[in-house]
Amino acid sequence: MFVVGRDRGTADARRLNGPDKKNGRLVIFGLCYVIMTSDMESARRRANPSKQENRKDDPMRKLLLATLAAAVPATMALAQSAEDTVKARQGFFQLVGFETGGLAAMAKGDVDYDAEAASAHAADLSALISLHVADYFAPGTSNADLPGKTRALPVIWEDTDGFMERVQALNAAVDTMAGAAGGGLDALRPAMGQLGGACKACHDDYRAKSF
């Protein structure tokens, strides 16, 4: 799915996404959203340049968001195959791993500690875990369903409570990291231990050791 940036020209975006019929509906929704919200914003700025914090309470914006939220999963459910879901899941964990790897390199001393870079990694992790990951774990996407493509064990869907506990542990570790990453190496290290421990605890029971 393409995310169209506000600064990108709409003609440019149409050219980019035009021929892709699969993504067409999503793109149109996205473009409508971008155009309407930016129009609303500029109109509001003209009317009341000092009050930008009211954006979130705007009823029109709420309606748009609600429509978008309802439309996107419905469209996705039609478009996404089990393989696509596995790819999205792996892409998600690739990003989680990339950000965690950056923090781990500092915690281990492989690269020099940099408060700004560490905070950025931690902020990105917080952003990642705020995604609605449930659809990345759609039923029918275990390594029993797709041998050789994923290491996600069927027990994820059989022991949902246990799996959710591990997810909560990861969320807690990411929250700890968000508070610790910028506070020096001595704060980063124990937070890294908690974060890596959350990775391990889930890999042990819910991820196969090989494809």
Partner 1 sequence: MASGDDTRRGEISGAVLWDPVVRVLHWALVLAFATAWGLGKFGPDQMTLHFYAGYTVGAIVVLRVIWGFVGPRTARFASFVRGPSAIVAYARHLPERRPSRTWGHNPVGALFVVGVLVVLAMQVASGLLSDPEDYINVGPLAKYVSHETTQTALSLHEPLSTLLLIMVLIHIAAIVFYKRWKGENLVTPMITGRRS
- Where along the sequence are the contacts to partner 1 (CB under 8 A)? 97, 100-101, 103-104, 192-193, 195-201, 203, 209-210
Shortest approach of partner 1 to residue 82 CB, angstroms? 22
CA distance 160 to 168: 12
Shortest approach of partner 1 to residue 126 CB, angstroms? 17
Three-state SS sequence of the chain = CCCCCCCCCHHHHHHHHCCCCCCHHHHHHHHHHHHHHHHHHHHHHHHCCCCCHHHHHCHHHHHHHHHHHHHHHHHHHHHCCHHHHHHHHHHHHHHHHHHHHHHHHHHHCCCCCCHHHHHHHHHHHHHHHCCCHHHHHCCCCCCCCCCCCCCECCHHHHCHHHHHHHHHHHHHHHHHHHHHHHHCHHHHHHHHHHHHHHHHHHHHHHECCCC
CB closer to partner 1 out of 4 and 107? 107
CB closer to partner 1 out of 181 and 192? 192
CB closer to partner 1 out of 51 and 200? 200
Shortest approach of partner 1 to residue 160 CB, angstroms? 22
CB closer to partner 1 out of 30 and 102? 102
Shortest approach of partner 1 to residue 207 CB, angstroms? 9
Is the Cβ–Cβ distance between 152 and 89 less than 8 Å?
Answer: yes
Shortest approach of partner 1 to residue 186 CB, angstroms? 16
CB closer to partner 1 out of 122 and 198? 198
CB closer to partner 1 out of 27 and 206? 206
Shortest approach of partner 1 to residue 116 CB, angstroms? 20
